[in-house]
């Protein structure tokens, strides 16, 4: 992040931002420009950005007892560690939680969605940055992308190196996320995941590397944009955003990945265990073997909705193969094919769809 090493550039950038952003701060097509109060000298105040902190490596430090990283840093401390932020925006912090994102649940994301929507509903708020762990950031950002009612920008960010690291990537990511919220270039992108300068849509993003700072990719769909030297460059518009009401409670939906020799026992168990829906990560273009096919027919006969996704990274699930368990047969028997949506996101979408429409196959199919 050049700003930290070059105070002159920081001042120039602050001057530039106060000259360019103030008059029509954050002019977004979908959302009305937020009200920005005048400061004493009559110039417009900087945009107001709410940072909602949930935990993750960005907020983790080494525990001297175990030597492992644990969430300890508050949202306020995260903000305090970012040089030059005050020149970009006025910041309000909401400490929503402080957990490793391996502990996140759809219920916790529902609460987060309500908190973020409440902040966005305030006319003076330009947008929200959510700090979150990277392990489930792709899924969490997708849940909010589907359930938020506001069109204002929401940027998920985090870190791959924790706050005890000599090379923490968190402060730079947080700076860029706030800059993105304040930038007119970031309109109509819905919820994004922005780390290491790259901007991904919540629908297409996946974590691709376990430790490298350049871990989030959007595969064949590509990045929405890139941030460098205080500027947001827009590469692409957002293609598709599915939106559903946020229900009070979420139905039980299982997610299973099939494998060679799978006897279908886990599918049958999920049905007997009360799942209302099951998402199965099939192989190839969305195929399962004969034993799993039998278990799928058992699930369908019990009124359980079955969605087929794939373990394959690129491409989409297609009704191509006609043998017992092939995608064509699964679709003919009433399964929904997840298209290009990864299995864990398909599970969240099925949960929201079932809560909104019940087991209405036609309406649910239209979501995928
Ligand atoms: N385990 C961490 C988490 O997801 C990983 C990270 O944030 O990079 O919360």
Mean pLDDT, each 10-residue run in order, the chain (368 residues): 52 51 44 52 79 98 96 98 96 98 98 98 98 98 98 98 97 98 94 98 98 97 96 95 97 98 98 98 98 98 98 97 98 98 98 97 97
What pLDDT, on a 0 to 100 scale, did the predictor assign at position 147? 98
In the prediction, which pLDDT does 3 show?
Answer: 46
Distance in angstroms (rounded) separating the CA atoms of residues 118 and 137 = 21
CA-closest residue to ligand 1 atom 7: 133
CA–CA–CA angle 242, 365, 255 (5° rounding) = 85
Q: Is 256 helix (H, G, I), strand (E, B) or coil?
A: strand
pLDDT at position 295, please? 98
pTM here is: 0.89
Eight-state DSSP code of residue 47? P
Ligand 1 proximity of 57 Cβ (cutoff 6 Å): yes
Indicate whether residue 158 lines ligand 1 (CB < 6 A).
yes
Q: What is the DSSP letter of 15?
A: H
Residues 49/182, Cβ–Cβ less than 8 Å: yes
Q: What is the pLDDT of residue 45?
A: 80
Q: Is 194 a catalytic residue?
A: no
* Per-residue confidence (pLDDT) for residue 299, from 0 to 100: 98
* 176: Cβ contacts below 8 Å, ≥ 6 apart: 1, 157, 194, 197, 227
Rounded-to-integer distance, Cα 45 and Cα 89, Å: 9
- Number of Cβ within 10 Å of residue 220's Cβ equals 11
- Our mutation pick for probing the ligand 1 site, out of 57, 73, 160, counting the most ligand atoms within 8 A of Cβ, is 57
Q: How many CA atoms lie within 13 A of 196 on its CB side?
A: 15
């Amino acid at each position: 992040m050049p700003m930290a090493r070059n105070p002159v550039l920081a001042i120039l950038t602050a001057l530039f931002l106060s000259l360019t952003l103030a008059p029509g701060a954050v002019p977004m097509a979908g959302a009305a420009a937020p009200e920005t109060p005048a400061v004493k000298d009559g110039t417009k105040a900087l945009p107001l950005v709410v940072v909602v902190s949930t935990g993750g490596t960005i907020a983790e430090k080494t525990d001297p007892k175990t030597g492992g990283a644990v969430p300890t840093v508050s949202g306020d401390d995260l903000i305090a560690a970012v040089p030059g932020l005050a020149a970009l925006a006025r910041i309000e912090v909401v400490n929503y939680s402080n957990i490793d994102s391996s502990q996140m649940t759809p219920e916790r994301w529902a609460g987060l969605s309500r908190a973020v929507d409440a902040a966005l509903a305030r006319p003076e708020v330009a947008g929200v940055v959510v700090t979150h762990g990277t392990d489930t950031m792709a899924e969490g950002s997708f849940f909010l992308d589907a359930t938020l009612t506001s069109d204002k920008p929401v940027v998920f960010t985090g870190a791959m190196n924790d706050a005890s690291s000599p090379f923490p990537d968190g402060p730079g990511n947080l700076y860029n996320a706030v800059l993105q919220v304040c930038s007119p270039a970031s309109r109509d992108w819905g919820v994004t995941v922005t780390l290491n300068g790259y901007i991904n849509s919540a629908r297409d993003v996946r974590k691709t590397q376990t430790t490298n700072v350049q871990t989030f990719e959007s595969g064949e769909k590509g990045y929405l944009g890139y941030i460098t030297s205080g500027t947001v460059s827009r590469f692409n518009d957002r293609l598709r955003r599915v939106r559903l009401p946020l229900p009070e409670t979420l139905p039980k939906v299982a997610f299973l990945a099939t494998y060679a020799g799978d006897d279908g026992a886990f599918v049958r168990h999920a049905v007997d265990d009360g799942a209302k829906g099951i998402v199965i990560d099939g192989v190839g273009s969305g195929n399962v073997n004969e034993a799993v096919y039998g278990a799928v027919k058992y699930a369908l006969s019990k009124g359980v909705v079955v969605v087929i996704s794939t373990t394959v990274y690129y491409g989409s699930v297609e009704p191509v193969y006609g043998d017992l368990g092939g995608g064509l047969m699964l679709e003919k028997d009433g399964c929904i094919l997840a298209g290009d949506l990864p299995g864990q996101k398909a599970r969240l979408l099925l949960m929201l769809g079932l809560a909104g429409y019940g087991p209405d196959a036609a309406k649910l199919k239209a979501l995928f």
